[in-house]
Amino acid sequence: MGKDKLRRFAELETFSNVFQLNSVHKGKWNKDYFKNEQDIVLELGCGRGEYTVSLAHYFPTKNFFGIDIKGARIWRGAKTGIEENISNMAFLRIEIEKLEEHFADAEVSEIWITFPDPQPQISRERKRLTSERFLSMYKKILKPNGIVHLKTDNDGLYEYTLEKIKEFNYTIIKNTNDLYKELWLDEVLSIQTTYEKIYRDKGKNINYIQFKF
């Protein structure tokens, strides 16, 4: 591991807005950390946290968590949060498979899945963040009528997710296979991660689905 990564991991330990492998706040995040009763929104696989940071700026009356297992990536978003004194945002360094260990039933209002690994191999279907395994998890921690957003450049994952939504009779709110051509595109949906900018520069269409259980 390089010196820069080691420095970032060490610095993460000092950040008040980063929680690592810690579930003691399950069901009490608003009471223990945010000190308010605002809706909690998760970004799964947040990487450097560009989307989480932007969402926190756009919606000061909601609380946001960026979730990723890669500490060196989380460091960037967390450091921005400290530098800009963003009080409605934190980061959780865990595997997404362990969401239920950290959030109670109906504790979350909204989930964003932004450019996840599509896990295209059939043998890795269970690892797709919109597989039945994960959808069941989201349904449990989300409040009634809680919303899930998926943004992806991967057409296969997009089609797979539509199939799962249909299979389990979930409700689609918005859906497109070319987001930037939609009249309803807004500032929030226009937020771009590093990966999204790369994909768009290459002329790749961006798929988007908003649905609820």
- Residue 105 reports pLDDT greater than 60: yes
- Give the Å distances, CA to CA, from 205 to 12, 43, 151, 178, 182: 35, 21, 11, 5, 12
CA distance 176 to 145: 21
Domain-embedded: residue 1 = no
pLDDT tens digit sequence for 145-166 = 999 999 999 999 999 999 999 9
Domain-embedded: residue 4 = no
Domain-embedded: residue 13 = no
Contact present, 200 and 54 (Cβ < 8 Å): no
Note the pTM of the prediction, 2 decimals. 0.94
Residue 179 neighbours by CB distance under 10 Å: 19
- Residue 2 reports pLDDT greater than 70: no
Active-site residue, from 4, 117, 155, 178: 117
Domain-embedded: residue 10 = no
Averaged over 57-83, what is the pLDDT?
94
pLDDT tens digit sequence for 4-58 = 777 777 888 888 999 987 668 999 999 999 999 999 999 999 999 999 999 999 9
Domain-embedded: residue 3 = no
Averaged over 184-206, what is the pLDDT?
92
Domain-embedded: residue 187 = yes
State percent of the chain over pLDDT 90: 85
CA distance 150 to 152: 6
Task: Please state the domain count of the chain.
Answer: 1
Domain-embedded: residue 167 = yes
CA distance 82 to 100: 27
- Is residue 65 classed exposed, middle or buried when 0-12, 13-18 and 19+ CB atoms within 10 A define those classes? buried
CA distance 175 to 81: 31
Reply yes or no on whether 117 is catalytic: yes
Q: For residue 172, what pLDDT band results from cuts at 50, 70 and 90?
A: very high
> Which structural domain, as residue segments, surrounds residue 113?
18-212
pLDDT tens digit sequence for 127-143 = 999 999 999 999 999 99
Handedness of CA 34, 51, 80, 134 (dihedral sign): positive
CATH number for position 181: 3.40.50.150
Domain-embedded: residue 2 = no
